[in-house]
Structure 1
Amino acid sequence: MTVAKRRLDPDRRSRIIDVALDVIAEYGVAGTTHRKVAEAADVPLGSMSYHFSGIDELLIEAFRRLAATVSARFTELLVAAQTPDEARQAVVAIITDGSWTSTRHLLLSYELYAFGARNPALQTVMRDWMEASRRALERHFDRDTARMLDALIEGLTIHRSVDPEPVDPTRIRAIVDKLTA
């Protein structure tokens, strides 16, 4: 009898979470299954139930990873800003920079909002993400202004993804300047 050698894979759980985001971007939350994720991650299907109690846990962890990744980049841009003018320009970059508005990122955000509307555990992930964004903005702006800027960033990012004539960066800067005057 030949015994299969176990493959050492200490990062398997983390890799599965990353791949789950790819599967969600391709198939949506409704089309994401353990089988699709396992196949895309090149892991045995049994690994899914070993690492996650169910599909909801996997989805929550994947969206938590997305929020952490986006928040880190968001914070990085605002921490780098040394002056109020640089902070305003960072806000404009967050709205207009292609890395924030990629099709993949927007699809994942839409899926997060829809799934979160029906899943209380995911609403916590969404609130934590909002709070992290606001804390980053509060490095340069008062609390109320940070809340308004956060909403502006969300709204204009979504609008830019579907508007055939998105708001020009110069106009966005004028809006940011008005909000932060």
Structure 2
Amino acid sequence: MLAGDAAGGDAAAGTRSGRKNDPERRDRIIAACLDVIADSGVAGASHRRIADAAGVPLGSMTYHFDGIDELLHEAFTRFSHTVSERFEQRMAAATDLESARAAVVAIIHEDVFGDGREPVLSHELYTLAARKPAYRALTTAWMRRSRTALERHFDPETARLLDAMIEGVSIHRALDEEPRDPAEVAEAVARITAAR
């Protein structure tokens, strides 16, 4: 006899042992993981801290993920795809050289520099990628998607230079205490994309 039968009825459909199923719990954990990393870095991303941020029992962590590394990989995969999709949308909306240049400038000023969270998450991912091949595969795929989006409007070499410039500017902006003139970004994009 099933446990549900012994209790006087079947466990409700979509439940485990009579508990309500929470189909969004895994997604909430991944989102909370990114929040914790943005606040405390990968080093501060413990199971307990992430579970608290997600509002889930600690046991949910090991139920949904084999370990912290799997969770981190899932979280950074989501992050890189979210950034790539926004990047691709901006470049797809451009219709000519000037609007493509403007899209690159917008990516830097509005997306990369938006709220300060994205550079922190990016740098945490870069640190992991420098040491672990699985994360390097993520960053390699991310760069490939960025260059493909840029190649809608620029030749492959120019796309590679622009992609490197976007990353470099984000690092300088995150680490330099000196304020920079926003017009420098537009000037850099114009120089890189000038006809040769």
TM-score, normalised with respect to structure 1: 0.92
CA contact (8 A) 1:92 1:176 kept: yes
Q: Does 1:100 align with 2:112?
A: yes
Distance 1:148 1:166 in 2: 24
Distance 1:149 1:178 in 2: 10
One-letter code aligned to 2:156:
R
The correspondence for 1:168, drawn from 177, 181, 186, is: 181
CA contact (8 A) 1:106 1:158 kept: yes
Distance 1:124 1:149 in 2: 21
Residue in 2 that maps onto 1:49 = 62
CA contact (8 A) 1:18 1:62 kept: yes
Gaps of 5+ in 1: none
Of 162-171 and 70-79, more deviation after overlay is shown by: 162-171
Distance 1:36 1:85 in 2: 46
The correspondence for 1:15, drawn from 28, 43, 54, is: 28
Distance 1:112 1:11 in 2: 24
Q: Deviations over 1:113-145 (max 9, x none)?
A: 111211111111111111111111011001111
CA contact (8 A) 1:159 1:166 kept: no
CA contact (8 A) 1:141 1:180 kept: yes
Distance 2:130 2:178 in 1: 29
Q: 1:166 to 1:142 in 2, by over 3 A?
A: farther
User: What is the total number of aligned residue pairs between the two structures?
Assistant: 179
Residue in 2 that maps onto 1:118 = 131
Gaps of 5+ in 2: 1-6, 8-16
One-letter code aligned to 1:53:
D
The correspondence for 1:39, drawn from 49, 52, 68, is: 52
One-letter code aligned to 1:162:
L
One-letter code aligned to 1:56:
D
Question: Structure with the greater relative contact order (CA < 8 A, sep ≥ 6): 1 or 2?
Answer: 1
Structure 1 residue runs of 4 or more that deviate by more than 4 Å after TM superposition: none
The correspondence for 1:131, drawn from 122, 134, 144, is: 144
SS in 1 for 2:112: coil
Q: Deviations over 1:43-89 (max 9, x none)?
A: 11111111111100000110001101111111111111111100001
Pick the structure with more helix per residue.
1
- Alignment root-mean-square deviation, CA: 1.8
CA contact (8 A) 1:34 1:48 kept: yes
CA contact (8 A) 1:145 1:179 kept: yes
Of 52-61 and 108-117, more deviation after overlay is shown by: 108-117
One-letter code aligned to 2:140:
R
Residue in 1 that maps onto 2:164 = 151
Residue in 2 that maps onto 1:26 = 39
Q: Does 1:73 align with 2:86?
A: yes
Distance 2:179 2:112 in 1: 15
Q: CA deviation at 1:163?
A: 2.8
CA contact (8 A) 1:67 1:125 kept: yes
